[in-house]
A and B are shown apart, each in its own frame.
Chain A
Amino acid sequence: MKMLEIKNLKAKVEDKTILNGVNLTLQAGEVHAIMGPNGSGKSTLAHVLSGREGYEVTEGEVLFEGKDLLALKPEDRARAGIFLAFQYPVEIPGVNNTYFLKAALNAIRKARGEEELDAMDFLELVKAKLKPLKMDESMLQRAVNEGFSGGEKKKNEILQMAVLEPKLAILDETDSGLDIDALKVVADGVNALKRKDRAFLMVTHYQRLLDYIVPDQVHVLAGGRIVKTGGKELALELEKKGYEWITQKAGV
């Protein structure tokens, strides 16, 4: 089943065109990686999909499970099952992690017509999700991401993903700022969430993450377009040769 279809997507920030006709189809159960040089539009694509303000879509469309995604407000996209793991998770002083997660889960459950969880049931659920991520329970009582190390922040994103159980997870540079141990834990966390009715779109600059989360397809984004698509071996080639040979060939 087609989970996500991006058709000729063009977007600009202020007056600068960043995405210049992106085409991409993601099936349920698949893992795709989007790679590309700095400034190629990788993060912009992730932001446009999640509905962040400041981006103007000038052309094209995005279908999520066959429905117009771009017409939805960000919170409605999340409720529909889209999750963005942030490159820079936001610190929110004064709001505790449990409270935040519970509010998010219940907002999503409510939108789906499910019963909201009470504090006890929620705590039970979230504690079970902490273990595979090697996170301490004390994290739940801290303010959201406040004073967290880089690794803790990224783990916290994966924890949120595990609790919210999205259909489509977009991981924006999830490997950045992680040492190798943290990277393994985060990758294991993601791998544990793989399901045949769930898809992953990973935005990354380096091939390193793909050693641990193996993609079905790798797309190279350059100049706002996908200029090459291949299997997981494409990532290895990029690691060896850099991006220039592709971008030159594509004329960007």
Chain B
Amino acid sequence: MNATEAKNTYLSAFPDWEKAALSKDPFWLRETREKALAAFGEAGFPTSKEETWRYTDLDHLFQLPFDLTGEKPAKAAVTAELKSLGFDTEKAYLAVFVNGHFSKELSHLPAGRSEEAPKSLIENLANGPLKREFAHILPFESRPLVALNYAYFTDGLFLHVPKGKKLEKPIHAVYLSTNTGHATQSHLRNLILMEEGSQAILIEHYWGNNLKPYFTNAVTKVSLGKGARLEHTKIQQESALAYHLGVLAVHQETDSHLTSRVFSLGGALGRSEVETALAEKGAHCLLEGLTLARGKQHLDIRTFIDHLAPSCRSEETFKAVVDNESTAIFDGNILVRENAQKTDARQSNKNLQLSTESKIYSKPQLQIYADDVKCSHGSATGQLDEEALFYFESRGIGKAEAKRILVSAFAGEMVDRVSDEYLKEPLRRMVGEWLEGKS
């Protein structure tokens, strides 16, 4: 299939799918889904002719048969597997989605129906803010893959933290793709609404034990009220033949603070986009990421920071390690608008190539339309330092071990920056296992 044929398949499947799967959808949501589908139909799948998709080709994705017949999954030993990854799951709220559907049995969420408890989005559509949310389509939501997600999403996490409330535990949302059922894809939509002065830690964990090819298309929308703080970590650990496309879109009000981290290791093709609009004075964002690619993996990171208001601050640090014939991409765009005086924006991208066949594309972009700003960006790609390797060898440490230590030092910096105890150890283990070649 080519892009047009694939698009037509997605379009023509909708009426039947809607009838079967969406019988419980409120009518207002159906209307928006149809509008979103039309937007997708108009735009079609992105091609490498588009600037932001220049290095990422979706051709292989189009060969994947379309099947959304969402059979409810069998029980999966999620908690045990998370523990084996090093997560102390007792210390988090666990929200588990299997093949795009919320699993109440596998989740550990606070009892009762408190407002701030993490919930299934689809089960809470009657909730006031959700109705407002889905009443329309924002311009960004008419982008093809986001629109496709809008049309087909089956569920996702809904989090609404009221004014001044601080969540006691981190929320660990697990999006598991398994072999059960025929579904070849899941479209997930998460909505995070944080009111003034609220605080939360959220982990979006995309994870697969499905050995067949599948497609995850995830969209997370976040709104941070005045002074709200969100620490968001995405772990992309899909299985080897997966296609993962994900967007995190954030809107930040006065003095709000976003930390966004992306640890990208999984899938045959993975693309994670992080966009934040620093819409009001004093907003601050910290964007970090680590990509570890080997084999023929293609892992793409795209960030967009929109400085719309004065005195906002953005700091970005992304690193990638590529081995074999893999590819890593960093496309980081910072836009400082005319009104955004006293902006402080810093961006850094560092890449380490372990093989001559691997590829790195680094594309830092800074567009500045204000005159009183502090902005800097830097990008560096290199190989392991031969001098350093010899230094290890001369001390009795063999080349393979020396390489492991040097790569671990390079990548480990991104784990060292994580302060949250719940995450730190599993991330360390994950990087360690990658270095050992186990994942």
Contacts and interface: CB of A to CB of B under 8 A. Distances in A.
B393 A164 contact: no
A111 B398 CA distance: 11
Nearest to B397: A107
A90 B406 CA distance: 13
Contacts of B388: 90, 92
B405 A75 contact: no
A215 to B, nearest CB: 23
Interface string A65-102: 00000000111011100011010011011110001100
Contacts of A50: 394
A103 interface: yes
A53 B390 contact: yes
B409 A93 contact: yes
A86 B388 CA distance: 12
A131 interface: no
Interface string B356-400: 000000000000000000000000000001111011111111110
A94 B409 contact: yes
Contacts of B410: 94
A95 B390 contact: no
Given A93-B409, A95-B406, A95-B409, A78 B390 contact: no
B397 A104 contact: yes
| Chain B interface, DSSP helix/strand/loop, else mixed | helix
Contacts of B412: 94
B123 interface: no
B391 A103 contact: no
A44 to B, nearest CB: 15
Given A53-B386, A92-B406, A78 B393 contact: yes
Interface in A122-173: 160, 164
Contacts of A160: 395
Contacts of A79: 396
Nearest to A74: B393
Contacts of B395: 75, 78, 100, 104, 107, 160, 164
A74 B390 CA distance: 8
A223 to B, nearest CB: 27
A107 B398 contact: yes
Given A93-B409, A94-B409, A107-B401, A52 B396 contact: no
B397 A103 contact: yes
Contact of B391 (A73, A83, A86, A93): A86
Interface residues of A, number: 28
A75 B391 contact: no
B90 interface: no
A75 B409 contact: no
Given A53-B390, A90-B391, A104 B405 contact: no
A103 B405 contact: yes
Nearest to A101: B395
B413 interface: yes
Interface string B394-430: 1111110100011001101100000000000000000
Nearest to B385: A90
A75 B396 contact: yes
A26 B340 CA distance: 71
Nearest to A80: B396
Contact of A111 (B385, B394, B396): B396
A110 to B, nearest CB: 9
A107 to B, nearest CB: 4
A204 to B, nearest CB: 19
B382 to A, nearest CB: 12
A78 to B, nearest CB: 4
A108 interface: yes
A51 interface: yes
B257 to A, nearest CB: 27
Contact of B396 (A89, A92, A95, A107): A107
Contacts of B392: 75, 100, 104
B167 to A, nearest CB: 33
A138 B391 CA distance: 22
B396 A164 contact: yes
A103 B391 CA distance: 13
A104 B394 CA distance: 9
Contacts of A86: 391, 394
Nearest to A84: B394
A160 B394 CA distance: 11
Contact of A92 (B394, B401, B409, B413): B409
Contacts of B390: 52-53, 74, 90
Given A50-B394, A107-B396, A95 B401 contact: no
Contacts of B397: 75, 103-104, 107
Contacts of B393: 51, 73-75, 78
Contacts of B409: 92-95
B405 A108 contact: no
A74 B413 contact: no
Nearest to A79: B396
A141 to B, nearest CB: 13
Interface of A: 50-53, 73-75, 77-79, 83-84, 86, 89-90, 92-95, 99-100, 103-104, 107-108, 111, 160, 164
10 contacts: A53-B390, A74-B393, A74-B394, A75-B398, A90-B387, A94-B409, A94-B413, A100-B395, A103-B397, A111-B396
8 nearest A-B pairs in the assembled complex, by CB-CB distance: A94-B409, A78-B396, A104-B395, A74-B393, A90-B391, A107-B396, A108-B396, A75-B393
Given A78-B393, A95-B405, A107-B398, 14 more contacts: A53-B390, A75-B396, A75-B398, A75-B399, A78-B396, A83-B394, A90-B390, A92-B391, A94-B409, A95-B409, A103-B397, A103-B401, A103-B405, A104-B395
